[in-house]
């Protein structure tokens, strides 16, 4: 079957760095997406990786290793507004997105 | 620029009733999707449409139907609602089926 695993919840301190991991097993691979979802709101797009390596976008970076079925989202200089759920999704062989359950990130002052 | 709109924002519905959730996008995206999001689970695809006039079944299509008469609108119908359909429903769109998906604000549906 298809499976996306990510931690249920993480806690970090304002100003610090946090890494959210995602491992996947899917039928085919056509890219990995990270979305941010604040409580009660819609998911919003953060990043897309289809090749191995690190993609940097401001305070957020995303890494992919296709051979290991692994990705992480790195958030630097954490701000209180970064408190949200972070969703990992993989596009399978039919380009349908398979979603993880999300990681709830709690930022403490 | 509105992006994607959904209506209603929330709804409480008696079991057995028929309900249509509306979704409209103004980005001229070809592909549209309906997901449900339940606590502790990832988003699950209900139905999708890669272009106007075509639809396909996702992971959890039973009890739901869709239509795509034009590019902008993609309504989701529950023919006879059941309590297990209590969920938050998100509509999304992408320029084509392989592109980044953008989400509407969601509809919170409670079936009693």
Q: A90 and chain B: CB distance < 8 Å anywhere?
A: no
Question: Which 29-68 residues of chain A touch chain B by CB within 8 A?
Answer: 30, 33, 41-45, 48
Rounded to whole angstroms, the Cα distance separating B83 from B102 reads 28
What is the chain B residue with the closest CA to A5? B42
Give the pLDDT confidence score for residue B97 in this predicted structure: 81
Say how many C-beta atoms besides its own lie within 10 A of residue B39's C-beta. 7
Residue B1 has pLDDT above 60, yes or no: no
Angle at B21 between CA B16 and CA B27, to 5 degrees: 165
Q: A69 and chain B: CB distance < 8 Å anywhere?
A: no
Residue B40 has pLDDT above 90, yes or no: no
Task: Name the residue among B58, B90, B97 with its Cβ closest to that of A42.
Answer: B90
Nearest CA-CA distance, residue A106 and chain B, Å:
17
Q: Where are the alpha helices (DSSP H) in chain B?
A: none
Q: B52 and chain A: CB distance < 8 Å anywhere?
A: no
Mean pLDDT value across residues B72-96: 97
Residue B39 has pLDDT above 70, yes or no: yes
Tens digit of pLDDT for each residue in B47-72? 999 999 999 999 999 999 999 999 99
Residues in chain B with CB shorter than 8 Å from the CB of A102 are 42
């Amino acid at each position: 079957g298809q499976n996306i695993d990510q931690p249920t919840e993480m806690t970090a301190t304002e100003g610090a760095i946090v890494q959210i991991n995602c491992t996947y097993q899917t039928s085919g691979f056509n890219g990995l997406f990270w979305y941010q979802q604040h409580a009660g709101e819609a998911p919003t797009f953060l990043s897309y990786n289809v090749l191995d390596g690190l993609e940097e976008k401001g305070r957020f970076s995303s890494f992919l290793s296709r051979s290991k079925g692994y990705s992480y989202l790195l958030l630097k200089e954490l701000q209180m507004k970064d408190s949200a759920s972070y969703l990992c999704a993989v596009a399978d062989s039919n380009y349908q997105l398979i979603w993880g359950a999300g990681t709830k990130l709690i930022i403490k002052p | 620029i509105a992006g994607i709109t959904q209506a209603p924002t929330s709804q409480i519905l008696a079991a057995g009733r028929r309900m249509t959730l509306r979704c409209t996008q103004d980005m001229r995206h070809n592909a549209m999707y309906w997901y449900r999001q339940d606590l502790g689970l990832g988003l699950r695809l209900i139905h999708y449409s890669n272009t106007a006039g075509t639809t396909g079944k996702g992971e959890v299509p039973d009890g739901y139907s869709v239509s795509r008469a034009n590019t902008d609108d993609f309504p989701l119908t529950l023919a006879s609602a059941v309590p297990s359909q209590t969920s938050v429903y998100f509509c999304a769109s992408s320029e084509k089926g392989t592109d980044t998906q953008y989400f509407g604000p969601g509809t919170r549906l409670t079936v009693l």
